[in-house]
């Protein structure tokens, strides 16, 4: 069977056969699953480093994590649903992939950022209105 793999950030769709390795499909199609330096610091598909992590929606579009990947996910990505290592995942259905997902959303909890509107890239590209900036009210009457 042939399945559709859509890359959200790149706005590109490729078609791959069943059980195709996602990392190899990316590279052969000219898409880069690595966030920096084109994978120069990667483990070259061995499943050790996590630099090729992607987010998959729906998760059923990729094979279930095998032992090595499950171990990496349990220690690095407990709170992120759908996060997978592209070098270990095989395509088993139609899936939408987000390359370079926000794997550390905790920075938004910092007091400097709390209350600020966070717009997705889809909203920014569509020209959506941004939320008003937080007030600079310090509580004093000057």
For the chain, what are the domain ranges? 2-29+48-97
What would the pLDDT profile of 62-98 be if each residue is shown by its tens digit? 999 999 999 988 888 777 788 999 999 999 999 999 9
φ, ψ for residue 16, nearest 5 deg: -130, 160
Q: Are 86 and 49 in contact (CB under 8 A)?
A: no
Cite the beta strand spans of 2-119 per DSSP E. Answer: 2-7, 12-17, 20-21, 53-57, 83-85, 90-91, 95-99
What would the pLDDT profile of 18-65 be if each residue is shown by its tens digit? 999 999 999 999 998 887 776 778 888 898 888 899 999 999 999 999
What's the topology of domain 2-29+48-97? Ubiquitin-like (UB roll) (3.10.20)
Which residues 6+ apart lie within 8 Å of 96 measured at CB? 5, 6, 7, 8, 56, 57, 61
Counting Cα atoms < 13 Å in the Cβ hemisphere of 31 gives 24
């Amino acid at each position: 069977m042939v399945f559709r793999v859509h890359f959200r950030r790149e706005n590109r769709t490729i078609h791959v056969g069943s059980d195709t390795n996602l990392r190899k499909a990316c590279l052969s199609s000219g898409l880069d699953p690595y966030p920096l330096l084109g994978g120069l610091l990667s483990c070259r598909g061995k499943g050790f480093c996590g630099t090729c992590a992607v987010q998959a929606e729906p998760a059923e579009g990729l094979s279930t994590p095998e032992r090595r990947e499950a171990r990496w996910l349990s220690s690095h990505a407990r709170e992120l649903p759908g996060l997978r290592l592209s070098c270990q995942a095989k395509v088993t259905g139609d899936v939408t992939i987000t390359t370079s997902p926000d794997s550390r959303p905790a920075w938004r909890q910092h007091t400097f950022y709390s209350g600020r509107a966070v717009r997705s890239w889809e909203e920014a590209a569509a020209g959506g209105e941004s939320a008003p900036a937080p007030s600079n009210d310090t509580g004093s009457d000057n």
